[in-house]
Chains A and B, each alone.
Chain A
Amino acid sequence: MQGIVDAFAPLYAMWQSFEAFMAGPGSPGLLGYWIVVVLMMTGFYIVIAHDNLVKKIVGLNVFQVSVFLFYILMAKVSGGTAPILADGIEKYANPLPHVLILTAIVVGVATTALGLALVVRIRNAYDTIEDDEIQAVEEEEDA
């Protein structure tokens, strides 16, 4: 068992140096939030720049995960552990954002399922899942 733990030691050391970089005095301590912003903007770009409906839903998912990550980043307390009460531990991460995000993940999947079902329905009605082609079909009908 200790061997397994030792095998992950370099990975853990890497994480600790990354964490030190994020929270350290040299850096502004906001790197995590910036990664979240980059992820969020990538999702946003996918949603507005692509015509494929499945791709748009994947983009929404990326956006969603970035928001979750943002909440979890705020809940972190340096030197704290997961919010499971145990003897001899003083500092815990904030449990409230965890609860909110737990609910949000499940609701997110429910909305994804509904969106994908609508995609299947649109495909059956229009024979395409590309936004511009659907518009072309509709204009043809109006004319």
Chain B
Amino acid sequence: MLIMGVMAIAIARIRDLFAVSMLSGIFSLTAAAAYVVLDAVDVAFTEAAVGAGISTVLMLGTLALTTRQEKVTGGKSKGTAAFFVVAVTGAVLIYGTFDMPRYGDPIAPIHHHVAPRYLEKSFGEVGMPNVVTSVLASYRSFDTLGEVFVIFTAATGVLAILGRVGRRRREDEEADETKTARTEDASPDKETAS
């Protein structure tokens, strides 16, 4: 987890976006390793496949369609102000952790509400040794169904947005062929976007 902290700061400093997306992939993978040692193997699987895999691919695809380099923005004062805000928020959050139960404490309130019931009864009720699976697919199946709807909506949204981009690019090429200035073509485009 300390490695993750170092990596996050590196992500903040590096301007080459290709390196940033690679680092965020490694960051996810380290997070997956941390989940394994914290006994959350199912979460680790998902993080390694989805966080480290698919996110990185999406990020690289975006870079291929846009640009690789982050521009140097001369906002020294902005950085200082942001750092101040972040430091204050972080201090408040750390103050909040003093009320948290200690790490790994078995008598923490979180372990005494519904979790023991799942651990005791889920094998008899669902018949799966993996409690995470039986909670996900049986007790909270409507939640999982909702998740599927979210993914469907996101996929529809991405296709709607990028489908427009593809069409616009073809129109742009046609416009370029007829020697129309690209800047004139771009202004009605923005009006439709807003």
Contact with B along A31-68 (1 / 0, CB 8 A): 11111011111111110111110110111011001001
Within 8 Å of chain A (Cβ to Cβ): is B2? yes
Within 8 Å of chain B (Cβ to Cβ): is A9? no
The one of B20, B130, B161, B164 that contacts A84, using a Cβ cutoff of 8 Å: B130
Q: Give A21 to B178 CA distance when docked, in angstroms.
A: 71
Q: Give A2 to B1 CA distance when docked, in angstroms.
A: 27
Chain A residues lying within 8 Å of B31, measured Cβ to Cβ, are 65, 68-69
Q: Give A73 to B43 CA distance when docked, in angstroms.
A: 12
Determine the residue in chain B with the shortest Cβ distance to A133: B71
Task: Count chain B residues whose beta carbon lies closer than 8 angstroms to a beta carbon of A.
Answer: 99
Chain B residues lying within 8 Å of A81, measured Cβ to Cβ, are 39
Chain A residues lying within 8 Å of B179, measured Cβ to Cβ, are none
Contact with A along B153-183 (1 / 0, CB 8 A): 1110110011011001100000000000000
CB of A73, distance to nearest CB on chain B (Å):
7
| Contact A33 to B97, CB < 8 A, known contacts A15-B37, A78-B105 | yes
Task: Count chain A residues whose beta carbon lies closer than 8 angstroms to a beta carbon of B.
Answer: 90
CB of A59, distance to nearest CB on chain B (Å):
8
| Contact A37 to B58, CB < 8 A, known contacts A69-B1, A92-B119 | no
Give residues 84-110 of A contacting B (CB, 8 Å). 84-86, 91-99, 101-103, 105-110
Contact B62 A120 (CB under 8 A): yes
Q: Give A44 to B179 CA distance when docked, in angstroms.
A: 45
Query: B interface, by DSSP: helix, strand, loop or mixed?
Result: helix
| Contact A29 to B130, CB < 8 A, known contacts A50-B70, A69-B34, A105-B43 | no
Contact A96 B115 (CB under 8 A): yes
Q: Give A57 to B132 CA distance when docked, in angstroms.
A: 29
What are some 8 contacts across the A-B interface (CB < 8 A)? A35-B1, A46-B12, A54-B17, A80-B106, A86-B129, A94-B111, A99-B140, A107-B147
B interface residue numbers (CB < 8 A to A)? 1-2, 4-5, 8-9, 11-12, 17, 20-21, 24, 27-28, 31, 34-35, 37-43, 46-47, 50-51, 54-55, 58-59, 61-63, 65-67, 70-71, 73, 75, 78-79, 82-83, 85-87, 89-90, 93-94, 97-98, 100-106, 108, 110-111, 114-115, 118-119, 122-123, 129-132, 135-136, 140, 143-144, 147, 150-151, 153-155, 157-158, 161-162, 164-165, 168-169, 186-187, 189-190, 193
A30-B98, A48-B86, A62-B8 known, 16 other contacts, Cβ within 8 Å: A29-B102, A35-B1, A38-B90, A42-B8, A54-B20, A55-B17, A59-B12, A74-B100, A76-B104, A77-B104, A80-B39, A98-B40, A110-B151, A112-B55, A116-B58, A117-B162
A interface residue numbers (CB < 8 A to B)? 15, 19, 22-23, 28-35, 37-46, 48-52, 54-55, 57-59, 61-62, 65, 68-69, 72-86, 91-99, 101-103, 105-114, 116-121, 123-127, 129-130, 132-133, 141
